[in-house]
Amino acid sequence: MIRYQKEIQEGVVQAIIKGELLLEEAMEKYGIMSKKTVVRWLKRHQYEILNGGRQESTT
C-alpha cells in the first residue's frame, strides 16, 4: 500500500474543494493511482469538519 504525506493529502483535498482541480486532474497532478484513495481523503475531511476536527477513524 502506498502512503502519501499529510501535506499531499491536504493539498489534493483543498484543490478539489476550492474547485481548482477535478478529482481526476488532482490524481494526475499528484501521481495518485486510486480514485478510492482520494474519495477516502475527501470523506475524512468532511467527517473532521462535521465533528469539529476530532478524528475517531483510523482509515
Q: Establish if 56 belongs to a structural domain.
A: no
Contact 15, 21 (CB under 8 A): yes
Report how many domains make up the chain: 1
Q: Establish if 34 belongs to a structural domain.
A: yes
What pLDDT does 1 receive? 79
Q: Establish if 42 belongs to a structural domain.
A: yes
What pLDDT does 53 receive? 66
Q: Establish if 39 belongs to a structural domain.
A: yes
What range does the domain containing 27 cover? 6-50
User: Using CA atoms, how far apart are residues 42 and 34, in angstroms rounded to an integer?
Assistant: 13
Residue 2: burial class (beta carbons within 10 Å; 0-12, 13-18, 19+): exposed
Summarised one tens digit per residue, pLDDT across range 1-58 is: 789 999 999 999 999 999 999 999 999 999 999 999 999 999 999 999 999 866 555 5
CB crowding 22-55: b at 16 or more within 10 Å, else e? eeeebbeeeebeeeebbeebbeebeeeeeeeeee
Q: Establish if 23 belongs to a structural domain.
A: yes
**Residue 10 cell numbers, joined:** 491536504
Model's pTM, two decimal places? 0.80
